[in-house]
Amino acid sequence: MALPRQQTFDDLGAPLIDVPFCILDLETTGGSAASCEITEIGAVRYQGGALTGTFQTLVNPGAPIPPFITVLTGITQAMVVEAPRIDEALPTFLEFIGDAVIVGHNVRFDLSFLNAAAERLGYGRLPNRSVDTAGLARRLVRKDVRNLKLGTLAAHFRARTVPNHRALEDARATADVLWGLLEIAGTLGVTHLEDLLALPTARGSAHYGKIALTDGLPRKPGVYLFRDRNGEVFYVGKAKNLRTRVRSYFYGDTRRKIETMLRELDHIEHRVCATELEAEVAEVRLIIANRPRHNRRSRPGKAPHWIKLTDEAFPRLSVVRKPNGPGTLLFGPFRGAAAARPVVEALWDAVPVRRCTGRPGSREAACAPAQLGVAMCPCDGTLPEGDYAEVVERIVAGVSAEPDLLLGPLAQRIASLAATERFEEAAWVRDRHRALARSLERRRAWQTLQRAGTIHAAEDDGASAALIERGRLVAAWADGSHPPLLRISAPEPDPPPLPADLGDAEEAHLVWRWLTSGRVRLLEAGGVIAEPRRPVQALQSVAV
């Protein structure tokens, strides 16, 4: 029997006054959960500062209690003879805990015994979140007390109960210590559960004082912009919960990039978005508009590139910086020539398309790719145009409607290389296969969105809805609401075959991913929404 999954607190964004806390303490026969047993359980449950329950029981450990434990706790063998065994006491105690956040002083010790017993009896580990008052005290009052023992902290906070190594009294004292620590934490802006859980590591940041800049951030989806003292945006990010995400930068993240960002941070701007999709799209648009220096992975390249079939008697693949001009556009845009290279190499591996750039008949002997049999090249003047036209037709058909014409040969080559234990070469071809498949899928998604014109769609649970115009998000609404009148327009008669820039491409990808997530239903569309009949097949698992 497994424990039920703990209920969430809206991504841990619950105000502390609404969070149930179970403050507990255990007495045991020793210090190791692997070889020792529980002798007493004591716990108090609070919500909103009010006591909602008390639990106390002795537990028969089924083994002798060591004399030093009796001296420490006062629990004798005679006291536990009539007490229930742990298999009788634990189910009732787990029900008492429920979905509460577990609190203890050095709580890992108590949880190790509870988890060991729960796993032994078939319940599985406790899923509850936990708070350690010793860890909180180390961050909040370490300089004000001589040590972090429960007795010392209880005296410091003038606890109503003096801890005495008995479970219930120690739990009550821990509760008083918790209230004192929460009062101090509140002055640092800790008002919600996720702030409290992160607090033990938060003060490790050298720039923790700047966490005050997050006080005005809401617990809603949106985007945030980090600005330096000159007002320049140096980082843009998105979040399901703005306050939680931005505050996480101050919670002991030791990455050099984060340290640099916090050092440069002067103020934070934010924009609330109705849905997560709107936040993702807003992030892309803001990154393109501001080109922040710390958004290196998601920032668009300075020179996007496209892949074309050249406009000549024997077309070849060409990587170009502009999509207009003669030739047949195949894929793009890419962040740069290096990003386009794997797709070109995949096409080279899939079909014997021309690789040389010389004029037909300009050489006495065929070029190296032609001599190796991996390309059909006209450089020696012996290649008939009709034979080569079949290669071009295969590329165009594979890109537009029959992807297996291009992906199939790559998959066969991967399997062949793996069978002969040429694993490094197989891995190279696998990476090219994935790059080509990804480009085919993005091209299809773009063209499907262009043909659809305006799309009005909503999530099945009514959490969000969106109006999409040819791959761009026009508007988004939360909770299934939308304006009373929506203008649904038909697509343009001749839409562009590929995006004109990286921003359009990335936004269309985000929109398509949302539409095909499996949780979205189509409400209205201005045109036909249909992909080619032949799907882009995923690469079957091959050990390489």
Q: What angle do CA 183, 186, 192 make, to 5 degrees?
A: 115
Select which of 156, 165, 294, 482 is catalytic.
Answer: 165
Residue 339 near residue 439, CB atoms below 8 Å = no
Q: Write phi, then psi, for 333 (nearest 5 degrees).
A: -80, 155
- Per DSSP, the residues of 315-360 read -BEEEES-S-SSSEEEEEEESSHHHHHHHHHHHHHHS--B---SPT
β partners of residue 239: 222
Q: What span, in angstroms and rounded, lies between the C-alpha atoms of 174 and 150?
A: 7
**Residue 520 forms beta bridges with which residues?**
459
Distances (CA, A) of 504 to 281, 302, 355, 498: 10, 15, 31, 9
Both tokens of 195, joined, read 């702030």
Q: Is 433 a catalytic residue?
A: no
Q: Among 352, 279, 267, which Cα is nearest to 317's?
A: 352
HSE of 418, CA atoms in CB hemisphere, 13 A: 16
Q: Which residues of 83-108 are buried (b: 16+ CB within 10 A; e: fewer)?
A: beebeebbeebbebbebbbbbbbbbe
CB 10 within 8 A of CB 194: no
With contact defined as beta carbons under 8 Å apart, do 384 and 378 qualify? Answer: no
Torsional class of 514: left (φ above 0), alpha (ψ -120 to 50), beta (otherwise): alpha
Question: Do 495 and 470 touch, CB atoms closer than 8 A?
Answer: yes
**C-alpha distances in angstroms, 43 versus 100, 143, 174, 175, 352?**
12, 29, 10, 9, 74
First to last CA, the chain: 40
Residue with tokens 């619950």: 14
Cβ count within 10 A of residue 481:
11
Please report which residue ranges of 2-161 form alpha helices under DSSP H.
Answer: 67-73, 77-80, 86-97, 107-120, 133-140, 150-156
Cα–Cα–Cα angle for 466, 244, 171, nearest 5°?
135
Active-site residue set: 165
